[in-house]
Amino acid sequence: MKRYSIPATLAALAILVSPACADNHAENAPQFIRTASAASFETDFTVAAENTVNAVVCIKSYTNQRQNPYGNGGGGYDPFGMFDFFFGPQERQQQPRQQQRNSEPVQSGLGSGVILSEDGYIVTNNHVIDGAAKLEVLLNDNSTYEAKIIGTDEATDLALIKIDAEKLTPITFGDSETVKIGEWVLAVGNPFGFNSTVTAGIVSAKARSLSQNSRSGKMGIESFIQTDAALNPGNSGGALVNLKGELIGINSAIYSNTGSYSGFSFAIPTTIVKKVMTDLRQYGTVQRAVLGCTVTELDAKIAKDKGITAVKAGLLVMDVNDRSTAKELGLMENDVITAINNVEVHNFAQLVEQLNKFRPGDQITVTYYRDNKKATKSGTLRNNQGNTSITKKGDFSEIGCAFMKLGEETKRNLGISSGVKVTGLKKGAFSDAGIKDGFIITDINGKRVNNSDDVEMIYNQIMKTDGDDKVMFITGIYPTGKKYYYAVNLSQE
């Protein structure tokens, strides 16, 4: 039997029909012959690369003690095996004990950042700079600067830092909401320490959720741009751009069981980045608006059980909080939210992405269905405290006192193994809670304290949380031997 190769010019034909066959069955033969038409697309990445590389920087983080940059024993992946926040390589050789005792900061991580302004504001991931005693920024022209932290937001894994420089090349922002699945994108960063590396891929998905925050009601990042552009340790905090070189996302995570690229990467969309950066620069902390209701994603089973036939996707309202926007809108249990400001929200990830664009005090319009009838109402967004006040950046000095370390003899006399003494009390959170001068704090939120640094560390951990209430639960004793318990409210209104 002879074998024939089909010329490339005939590859567009699904089936080749002989003339004889065509004549005999012209009327009844199925129409299998089609001409393929391929969509034209631009694959020249040079313009995008040229417009981006000078706006992406390398960030080296230093700590006073040698730490594992992965934070989980060096495995390179999170405990649930879902995705990795990643740092760059670190020196893994054992250093002499004498050198390890040196107080000089040592490099503990490597990441990327994107220049936002000519005067040195730079966006990166929070996990790139978290815990750093010193930050060093390397520009594409090999200029090196020391950076200071302007603000961080653990919930969105974003941070704003600044270097003392002028006439830098800032990135041009694009609109992540107009990005389409299948669109070409470039990722620019410093994988494994290789500066200004460019990789290409397509947008694989949008509004991708990676966690279970929808069950807990947290307001972190739930709406990543998924791409197959190769990202590796060191890319974290770098740019994801379209073919015009416009920023559409900040690279933040990879799906991997090894800590290196395995096919999927995730970026924080610019709709969120712009708002968070503006808040950090203007207020020092993110102004986060909440709708004020508990929701679950609508599926076929729930729709059948609830008799919902008008829509197939949306957020089913389970409960409405008092003093909330949802309460003002008149939302009720079993309503199905389908849009925010005319932007469709089919799942929790999309809802959080839309809410993250607004601040308390902003007006929004919510589209929902009740009893299979469509309704639209407008209201004012509020914060976790149920008002529209600006949230102030937490400052440890606002607790209104100083702390004195206890001597071993005092501990023995009082029968305690830890403690720090409150002194110099003035107006602030501690005095508002009823704490008096001389009170000895033994533990806060179940953690022992022995000095001012311990108290400040716990304070910072509390202030980083995204919950409704920020409270120090304090256990302690007065010099008379009487034990007391206090709840110190740290919420800023």
**What whole-number distance in Å separates Cα of residue 433 and Cα of residue 488?**
5
Per DSSP, helices labelled H in 42-183 are 46-50, 97-100, 126-129
Q: Which of 271, 238, 282, 288 is nearest to 123 (CA)?
A: 238
Token look-up 């029909």 returns 17
Separation of alpha carbons 165 and 113, rounded Å: 15
Which positions are annotated as active-site residues? 127, 157, 236
Distance of CA 342 to the CA centre of its chain: 24
Q: How far is it, in rounded angstroms, from Cα 409 to Cα 414?
A: 9
- Three-state DSSP class for residue 136: strand
Whether the CA torsion 109, 112, 114, 117 is positive or negative: it is positive
What do you get for the CA distance between the two ends of the chain, in Å?
85
* Whole-number Cα distances in Å, 301 to 107, 148, 270, 315: 52, 51, 35, 14
Neighbouring residues of 311: CB distance < 8 A, sequence distance ≥ 6: 298, 303, 336, 338, 369
Distances (CA, A) of 344 to 317, 383, 415, 490: 16, 23, 62, 36
Cα–Cα distance between 442 and 171 in angstroms, integer?
Answer: 50
